[in-house]
């Protein structure tokens, strides 16, 4: 059960959508400490308020191309303790890869349609704020099935399903429930993914995250 009150900075240039999201988050127990309509306003707000998580629209003024993602990447470097969840209307594989270049801890990427599913959206916010990963299923599919093949081709169909759910941020228990298999079976599939991706265990590294990043490195993030 989610009971922590999150402090959120929200960046969205549409006033109507921004106000709606503020209302949605407030109703779910979050505290929106600041809102922003441009990338510079976002950077300033996060720097000042140091929220648990920043919610960022990829396309922001003045060009409505990549201002939001560039600001998100900057914040990842300048304020590493703040979770970053970006959202977009479309799957932008290159932008997702760009956001994940520095690692996937405390990062989320959702499609805007997912934001309308309130419970999923708030759950993703908490996961990102706690240092986890929350990638939209369609984003994961684009990351895993675009570009050059190699690592993913080495996986079985079930291992690929497990990897996709890992990338979305699901635990072994959650994966087992979704695939209707035992946790033991999931653990074996996860171990197989690590082996095929040549990801040995270390004390510091999160191999669940690196399993996705390994594919991104192979595909060049393009």
**pLDDT averaged over the chain?**
83
| pLDDT greater than 90 at residue 75 | yes
| pLDDT greater than 80 at residue 97 | no
Average pLDDT for 91-97: 72
Q: Which domain holds residue 158?
A: 146-219
Q: What is the DSSP string of 14-38?
A: -HHHHHHHHHHHHHTT-EEEEEESS
Query: Into how many domains does the chain fold?
Result: 2
Chosen domain end from 79, 101, 136: 136
| pLDDT greater than 90 at residue 38 | yes
Q: Which residues, at least 6 apart from 219, have a Cβ–Cβ distance to it below 8 Å?
A: 97, 143, 146, 147, 148
Measure the CA–CA gap between 3 and 5, rounded to whole angstroms. Answer: 6
Decide if 187 is inside a domain. Answer: yes
**Do 73 and 178 lie in a common domain?**
no
Measure the CA–CA gap between 16 and 31, rounded to whole angstroms. Answer: 18
Measure the CA–CA gap between 115 and 14, rounded to whole angstroms. Answer: 15
Decide if 14 is inside a domain. Answer: yes
């Amino acid at each position: 059960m989610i009971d922590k009150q999150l402090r959120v900075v929200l960046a969205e240039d549409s006033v109507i959508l921004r106000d709606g999201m503020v209302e949605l988050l407030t109703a779910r127990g979050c505290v929106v400490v600041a809102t922003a309509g441009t990338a510079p306003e976002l950077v300033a707000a996060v720097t000042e308020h140091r929220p648990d998580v920043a919610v960022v629209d990829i396309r922001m003024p003045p060009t409505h191309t990549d201002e939001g993602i560039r600001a998100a990447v900057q914040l990842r470097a300048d304020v590493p303790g703040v979770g970053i969840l970006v959202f977009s209307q479309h799957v932008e594989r290159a932008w997702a890869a760009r956001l994940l270049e520095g690692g996937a801890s405390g990062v989320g990427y959702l499609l805007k349609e997912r934001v309308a599913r309130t419970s999923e959206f708030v759950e993703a916010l908490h996961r990102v704020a706690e240092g986890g990963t929350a990638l939209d299923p369609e984003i994961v599919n684009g990351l895993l099935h675009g570009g050059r093949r190699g690592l993913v081709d080495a996986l079985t169909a079930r291992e690929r399903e497990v990897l996709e759910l890992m990338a979305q941020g699901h635990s072994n228990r959650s994966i087992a429930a979704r695939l209707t298999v035992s946790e033991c079976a999931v653990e074996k599939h996860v171990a197989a993914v690590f082996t095929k991706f040549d990801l040995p265990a270390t004390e510091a590294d999160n191999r669940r995250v690196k399993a996705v990043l390994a594919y991104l490195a192979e595909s060049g993030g393009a």
